[in-house]
A and B are shown apart, each in its own frame.
Chain A
Amino acid sequence: MGKFLLRRMLWLIPVILVVSTITFVLMHAAPGGPWDRDLSARQVDPATQKMLNTYYGLDKPLWRQFTAYLVGDVDSEGKFDCGLICGDLGPSYRQRGLTIQQILFMPPEEKSVIYSRFGYSMRLGIYSLLFAIIIGIPAGVISALKQNTMVDYVSLFIVTIGISVPNFVMAIFLIIIFASTLHMVSIVPRSWDEISVWVLPAVILGFGTMARTARLTRASMLETMRQDYIRTARSKGLSERVVIIRHMIKNSLIPVVTILGPALAGLVTGSFIIETMFGFPGMGRAYVTAIGQRDYSMIMGTTLIYAVLVALANVSVDVVYVFLDPRIRLD
């Protein structure tokens, strides 16, 4: 197991290299730069721009900027300034005086790390995943047990909506229903400390995952229900309840549990639209803002964190598999 984990962690290095190369190239291929203002606003004067470029090293050739980001570079005073390999994601070009890791991981004063931007996004991801599990798995199990009945069809209908309607469309509908019409929640809450204001964004964000979980659970249950060992279990005189819980559900959930890791990564990293719509103080909204502002190091840093999250989620699947299915051994 240790050896396996080590090998998988080493794989992160090429992943990071590829992701950062692509991001760097695309980012610099996009027109504009970090010092451009909206056309209507007053522009930064050329002398200041030149000074800023020198200060942040943006006057150097691109390959040098890239290596400086990854490994580091010697600054004007001859001191070596270490880059990504030391865990430094660099300074933000737009939020002066803050590094990327401070922006993403540093909570407001005297609060715990869950109040950082990363913490907010993580919590939103976890809540929506919980929603997806608590609704999706039972829905899938019941659908399978009541295959081709009204219950199954209703669940199929809801699930199809969840899979096919993009979450920003659903968000607008639900905001119109629950916020504008029914006034049950506030559209842009003043504070995110109250749990009730999390419900709408978490449900919208988790709806697609809930639908996919329900689908997968149903298919997996139907597959398991036909297995010989279910007949064996019945032939031993077990009650239907025991057959379902002990013999069917445990086997059916193996494929389901393994998608939950990547699903969490997907929810944490995929929340930027929802975060932006709800004015949510998370990483996703910061990411969208950073792209608009061409805040190069912020774009780079957030993309890499997303990539690492997804990669770790995939490793977690392989590890979880070992505990779920005794037939699988790593190494």
Chain B
Amino acid sequence: MSELLSVQGLETQFRTREGIVHAVNGVSFGLKEGETLGIVGESGCGKSVTVMSMLRLIPSPPGKVSAGKALFQGKDLLKMSDDEIRHIRGSQISMVFQDPMTSFNPVLTIGRQVSEPLEVHMGMNRKQADDRVVEMLTKVGIPNPRDRLNDYPHQFSGGMRQRVMIAMALVCTPQVLIADEPTTALDVTIQAQIVELAKRIRDDLGMAIIWITHDLGVIAGLADRLAVMYGGYIIETAPIRDVYAHPSHPYTLGLLGSLPRMDESGQRRLVSIDGLPPVLLEKPNFCPFAPRCKYVVERCWKENPPLMQISPDHTAACWVNPETGRER
């Protein structure tokens, strides 16, 4: 499989009253054709900003992508003209957003909104577009799709709206689907349905997915690889099995420890990670996780660890091996 998308050294900053917030600090990752990459991390760690920066959807000002590349099929998304990136958005790379309640325009019909990418990118007329919309709505499991084209977003339930959102993202058969916490605003049973739907459609259409979440339980059955983010850095990347079997960063370990498990016998207290997420007003010259880390050693306060190779496909940014508790 060849590399479809390659992000290198991406940095995004926001100017605020308090100073410059370093939301994303040199993030690099790759996405192969048909691959599903999960990006996990707590709120405010830069997951969403990373993908929004890639598609240049950061409100600017105050946001600014200050460094890095985002190569899509060899072309830098960050350098191309506004028109070029517009032709990629919604047709080759499309997004599903977190809150299906607010992500639809309340005064336009569903049919109108879902067909917009078709009109822009495929030049379809209303009739052709409607047929294609009905086909996609059927695929995502909306009953009686043709009757619902003229309905407005408020006439759909949250789960149904998220299905429509997925249909809208996939209507031009993109190569990359970016899902920004698509299940966070939904209740648990609906979450499972949406994940199942994503899997089915991915196997059907064969697109690559970047799935952003803060829920390691949601991502486990879906992603091929995982990137864990903390304080604007990617601090661990690995194939999904490796992350669960050999977490190599104390933060990842903490995330896993805070996850309830069905297969556990006996009782165990869920572990929480003490402390607060870092303030991103300055780039730290130490490990951003050090203040909350129980494996912390002297070196952690002196140097911010880069991503280091741990096994052929596994990198982590930590001076300590949490399995042994000793410095690497």
Binding site for B on A (CB under 8 A): 227-229, 231-240, 242, 246-247, 250-251, 254, 324-327
Contacts and interface: CB of A to CB of B under 8 A. Distances in A.
Contacts of A228: 97, 99, 102-103
A232 B114 CA distance: 11
Contacts of A324: 107
A200 to B, nearest CB: 38
A229 B106 contact: yes
B115 to A, nearest CB: 10
Contacts of A227: 102
A20 to B, nearest CB: 41
Contact of A237 (B91, B103, B107, B152): B91
Given A228-B97, A327-B106, A235 B57 contact: yes
Interface in B59-115: 82, 86-91, 94-95, 97, 99, 102-108
Nearest to B83: A239
Contacts of B104: 229, 232
Closest 10 CB pairs of A and B: A237-B90, A236-B90, A237-B89, A228-B102, A326-B152, A229-B105, A235-B95, A228-B103, A236-B117, A237-B86
Contact of B116 (A236, A250, A325, A326): A236
B122 to A, nearest CB: 11
B283 interface: no
Given A228-B99, A231-B57, A232-B97, A237 B105 contact: no
A310 to B, nearest CB: 28
Given A231-B97, A237-B89, A327-B152, A250 B168 contact: no
Contacts of A235: 55, 57, 89-90, 94-95, 97
Kindly state the interface size class of chain B when it binds its partner: 20 to 34
B105 A247 contact: yes
B152 to A, nearest CB: 4
A179 B252 CA distance: 78
Interface in B275-306: none
Given A231-B103, A238-B116, 12 more contacts: A227-B102, A229-B106, A233-B105, A236-B168, A237-B89, A237-B120, A238-B90, A238-B120, A239-B86, A242-B120, A251-B105, A326-B154
Given A228-B97, A232-B97, A236-B94, A254 B107 contact: yes
Contacts of B103: 228-229, 231-232
A325 B107 contact: yes
A231 B88 CA distance: 15
B120 A326 contact: no
Looking at B55, B88, B106, B121, the one whose CB has the most chain A CB atoms below 10 A away is B106
B105 A236 contact: no
Given A236-B116, A237-B121, A326 B107 contact: yes
A227 B150 CA distance: 22
Contacts of B90: 235-238
A266 B26 CA distance: 58
Contacts of B97: 228, 231-232, 235
Interface in B151-166: 152, 154
